[in-house]
């Protein structure tokens, strides 16, 4: 419990500090490099305070000179710190609107290039995905959790069609990312932290082919099975 209180104290401080810096530098840094630096500083400081270890494999599969769609399973809130801290790309996150209710953090998220999804309104969700596809075509890489929410049991559940639409509309490759160990560190419905190791495996790029349009569910199932197969048990 003491560790959890310490981590959340550090987290609140770093959110205010780095969030404010991201807002300020978003008006000064058109390249996004400073924004990514502060975001990684925020995430890695919180991870360091937690004592959780992070191990990453497959960095060579992450293109450095083209827009990508990072698609990851979602075991819990700790995934956010892990992916923000250890993926070496500035990614616009596609996140549910509930996260935008957090003061400072919400404005910083918008300035960082993140995109809000209103899951309660299908038309608004569709417009948000279209905006994301437009950004990808302009060269902005994005990250999406295709399960749509955190896993209730740590397992990888069925994927929604958003990542398929983004890849089809933009022509960008999907980068499957597999997370394991995050659920044990911070399960759903609790903010208490437990010591452990989180493993991240970056898979090879996957492209949507014209023939996949007739079987979107099949494509999504294959993508899901790839992420499951790459998990470190």
The answer to whether 152 and 48 have CB atoms below 8 angstroms apart is no
Instruction: Supply φ then ψ for residue 12, to 5 degrees.
Output: -65, -45
Q: H/E element holding 126?
A: helix 122-137
Mean pLDDT to the nearest integer, 111-126: 78
Report strand pairing: 197-202 vs 174-180.
Answer: antiparallel
Q: What is the pLDDT of residue 19?
A: 84
Reference 143, options 106, 112, 114; nearest CA is 114
Mind listing the pLDDT tens digit for each residue in 3-48?
889 998 999 999 889 988 988 888 887 777 888 899 999 999 999 9
CATH code for the part of the protein at 51-230? 3.40.1130.10
Domain ranges of the chain: 51-230
Concatenate the DSSP letters of all residues of 85-98 into one string: HH--S-EEEEEEGG
pTM for the predicted model, two decimal places: 0.89
Question: To 5 degrees, how large is the angle CA 116–CA 82–CA 198?
Answer: 135
pLDDT band, residue 104 (cuts 50/70/90): low
Distances (CA, A) of 12 to 39, 201, 232: 14, 29, 31
**Three-state secondary-structure class, residue 152:** coil
Q: What is the pLDDT of residue 201?
A: 98
Q: Is the pLDDT of residue 215 over 90?
A: no
Distances (CA, A) of 111 to 82, 93, 114: 21, 11, 7
5 Cβ contact list (under 8 Å, min separation 6): none
């Amino acid at each position: 419990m003491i560790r959890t209180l310490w981590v959340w104290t550090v987290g609140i401080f770093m959110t205010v500090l780095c969030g404010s810096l991201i807002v300020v530098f978003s008006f000064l840094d058109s390249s996004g490099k400073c924004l990514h630096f502060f975001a990684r500083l925020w995430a890695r400081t919180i991870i360091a305070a937690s004592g959780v270890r992070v191990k990453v494999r497959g960095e060579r599969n992450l293109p450095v000179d083209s827009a990508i769609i990072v698609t990851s399973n979602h075991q819990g809130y700790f995934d956010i710190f892990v992916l923000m801290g250890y993926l070496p790309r500035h990614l616009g996150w596609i996140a549910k609107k509930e996260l935008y209710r957090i003061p400072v953090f919400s404005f910083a998220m918008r300035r960082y290039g993140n995109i809000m999804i209103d899951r309660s309104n299908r038309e608004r969700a569709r417009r948000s995905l279209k905006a994301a596809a437009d950004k990808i075509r302009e060269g902005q890489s994005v990250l999406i959790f295709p399960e749509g929410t955190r896993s209730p049991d740590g397992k990888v559940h069925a994927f929604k069609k958003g990542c398929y639409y983004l890849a089809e509309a933009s022509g960008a490759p999907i980068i499957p990312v597999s997370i394991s160990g995050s659920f044990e560190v911070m399960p759903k419905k609790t903010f208490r932290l437990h010591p452990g190791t989180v493993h991240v495996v970056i898979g090879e790029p996957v492209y949507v082919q014209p023939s996949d349009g007739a079987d979107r569910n099949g494509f999504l199932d294959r993508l899901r099975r790839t992420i499951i197969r790459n998990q470190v048990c």
